[in-house]
Copies of this chain bind each other. A is one copy, B any other.
Amino acid sequence: MENKRAVIALTSLAQESRLEIFRLLVKAGPKGVSAGKISELCKIPPSTLSFHLKELLIGGLVSSRQEGRFVIYYAQFEQMNQLMAFLTENCCGGENCFQPLDHSCEVNC
């Protein structure tokens, strides 16, 4: 991951509604949550939500799939792992002092 990509990912999380949505999707896991359900749970009007969901997609930490009339959004755990690794890269100039585990949620759950 390079700097610009990481900034776009971080920007996608750096907003109250979007962070709330992201954390909801993290909790939900690979099965994800529909746009309508997110709107209801987070109390965000559809057009505003759609704007934020698009930002999250651009950030790369969230993806979507169509399921009938619903659009299901879900967290991209592998991308999240990569972002966290990038943020702690070369900690203290040498071996990383901390590092997120390599395995994404889809692998472990």
The residues of A with any CB-CB pair to B shorter than 8 Å are: 3-4, 6-7, 10-11, 13-16, 19-20, 22-23, 26-30, 77, 80-81, 84, 86-93, 97-101, 103-105, 107-109
Contact = CB atoms under 8 A, between A and B. Distances in A.
B13 A10 contact: yes
A97 B90 CA distance: 24
Contacts of A80: 87-88
Contacts of A104: 97-98
B10 A19 contact: yes
A77 B91 CA distance: 9
Contacts of A99: 100-101
9 closest A-B pairs (Cβ-Cβ)? A29-B92, A10-B14, A97-B105, A14-B14, A98-B101, A97-B108, A11-B14, A92-B109, A27-B90
